[in-house]
Amino acid sequence: MSKAFVKEGGSDEEEDGHPSAPTLPHGTKNYMTRRGYGLLKAELEQLVKTERPALVQVVSWAAKNGDRSENGDYIYGKKRLREIDRRIRFLMKRLESALIVDPASQENTEQVFFGATVTVCDEQGCESTYQIVGIDEADAGQGMISWISPLAKALLKAREGDAVRFHSPSGPRELEIVEIAYL
């Protein structure tokens, strides 16, 4: 059978653009901020308009150089091309299913909902600020947490002054909500 019709690898994870790509819970919408949507769209455009065409040129040039079985440029280029195509499919699926939520248009600003920027205080009195964002834009180091994370789930629908409990990797924790803002 020709290799052209055989799927390489058998993992469903590979279809997500990266083996560690976050997955949406079944039956939920892909909530995203306008900023997150813009970042994914910019990545898709960069892959489609710049990176992929340049790589296709390299692979085409390498293919003309003769024996492909020992041609590193050709072998690496084809592998990288498959990775780019996989990422493009992933980004297209995520963008098609995106539901953009503008935090600034939130009407009920007294409760925590998607897009809220929440300042919390732990048992030791240390304050931290988090923004609840979509799974593709989460970056805990920058204080942006996914709406499906344990902390975000605990914060959702809470109000200023409420204490929330959740299970963190270091064990159960309790946080008090100091401030809620929608920027």
User: Alpha helices, DSSP H only, in the chain?
Assistant: 34-46, 52-63, 72-96, 150-155
Residues 113/11, Cβ–Cβ less than 8 Å? no
- Whole-number pLDDT of residue 13: 40
Q: Find the farthest-apart pair of alpha carbons in the chain and give their distance in angstroms, rounded.
A: 71
Q: What is the spatial distance between Cα 183 and Cα 170, in angstroms, rounded to a whole number?
A: 30
Tokens of 44: 């898709």
Is residue 2's pLDDT more than 60?
Answer: no
For residue 175, pLDDT over 60 is answered with yes
Helix (H) or strand (E) holding 32: strand 30-32
Q: Tell me what pLDDT residue 26 has.
A: 80
Residue of higher predicted confidence among 53 and 168: 53
| pLDDT for 73 | 84
Q: What is the pLDDT of residues 120-161, one digit of tens each?
A: 999 899 999 999 999 999 998 999 999 999 999 999 999 999
Most confident of 67-71, 107-111, 116-120, 165-169: 116-120
Pick the CATH number of 103-181 from 3.30.300.170, 3.50.50.60, 3.40.50.150, 3.10.50.30: 3.10.50.30
Identify the residue with better confidence: 71 or 96.
Answer: 96
Domain 29-100, architecture per CATH: Orthogonal Bundle (1.10)
Give pLDDT tens digits for 44-95. Answer: 999 999 999 999 998 888 888 877 777 888 889 999 999 999 999 999 999 9
pLDDT at 22: 76
The model's pTM is 0.79
Residue ranges of domains in the chain: 29-100, 103-181
| pLDDT score of 91 | 95
- Decide the pairing of beta strands 163-168 and 98-100: unpaired
Per-residue pLDDT, 20: 63
Instruction: Find all residues with CB under 8 Å of 135, minimum gap 6, and list them.
Output: 22, 23, 24, 30, 146, 147, 148
